[in-house]
Amino acid sequence: VVVQVGESRPFVEELLDELASIVSDLETHQVHTFYEAVASMLAAETDQGRKEMLLGRLMHLPNEAWKSIMSQAAQEVNILYDSRGIKEIIKIIRTNVRVCKAVGPNGFNSQMGYIFQDMLNVYAAYTQRIAQIVEQGGEIAVKSSDVRSLRSAKKETLRLLDAFIEHAAGDDMSRQLVATHFLPKMMETILTDYRNSTPTAKEAEVLSLLATCINKLRNTIVPQVPMVLEAVFECTLQMITKNFEDFPEHRVNFFKLLQAVNDFCFEALFGIPLEH
């Protein structure tokens, strides 16, 4: 990110200028690795304003692709459910995940602000679509390729939210920013989805995301914890107490969540209704 001997300007700026031609020659997995590598260079930038500007340039192509899908979906919502549309959405969110993890603490706030609301809207739309498919085809429909690809997009969204909270809540000011601007909408979307989804379509990543929220946001999330437990406690318990084999990921993540509550919001455990 700084000018080295023999350079007229920082190497990262040359990379960003050539971005379109570089990624056009790469396979999808290579594109993700390239974005991650450039983001890790940006992590070394100490000027927050310049870092945001460079990140904006890095994310220009995926953001343009995202904007194009969203504007098409505003005209014709079925674009979101088309297999190519879902694939493209997964690819874009996955790029965001790699960049978010690499760009350093609080480095991703502006980018998350750009895609946050649309991403939650897509998540909610996919939840609704899965519910319709299951209603028409029964529980077995959860195993269909259509539902699997919709769930892949949802899981990728949850991974991005998890990575964002993990890296954007390192101090009190950052925690407050996340709790004020991102947490309410996120909670509303993911808790409604988890509570209402059929057990086999409940995403275990919701539970690990909630654990990350509590571990990172600590006292700023305390007021939300009773609502969290109300949404996930009873329905998850019913899933994992029928036997000791079903839903292994939910089991692990549920106990991670309870551990986080125990560590940082212990008093919230007393708010669990007696019948539990």
Task: Quote the domain boundaries for residue 224.
Answer: 193-276
Task: With CA atoms as reference, report the closest residue to 212 among 138, 137, 101.
Answer: 101
Q: How does pLDDT run across 166-212, given as a tens digit for each residue?
A: 998 788 899 999 999 999 999 999 999 999 999 999 999 999 999 99
229 in the same domain as 156: no
pLDDT at 26: 94
260 in the same domain as 163: no
242 in the same domain as 150: no
The pTM of this model reads: 0.94
Structure tokens at 247: 């839903």
185, part of any domain: no
Task: With CA atoms as reference, report the closest residue to 193 among 218, 166, 161, 222.
Answer: 161
State which residues of the chain have pLDDT below 50: 5-6, 276
Q: How many domains does the chain have?
A: 2
143, part of any domain: yes
The residue whose two tokens read 């939910």 is 250
218 in the same domain as 138: no
CB 42 within 8 A of CB 103: yes
- Rounded Cα distance between 66 and 94, Å, is 12
Q: Which residues contact 261 (CB under 8 A, 6 or more apart)?
A: 214, 225, 229, 268, 269
pLDDT at 271: 65
100 in the same domain as 210: no
Task: With CA atoms as reference, report the closest residue to 103 among 52, 159, 157, 30.
Answer: 52
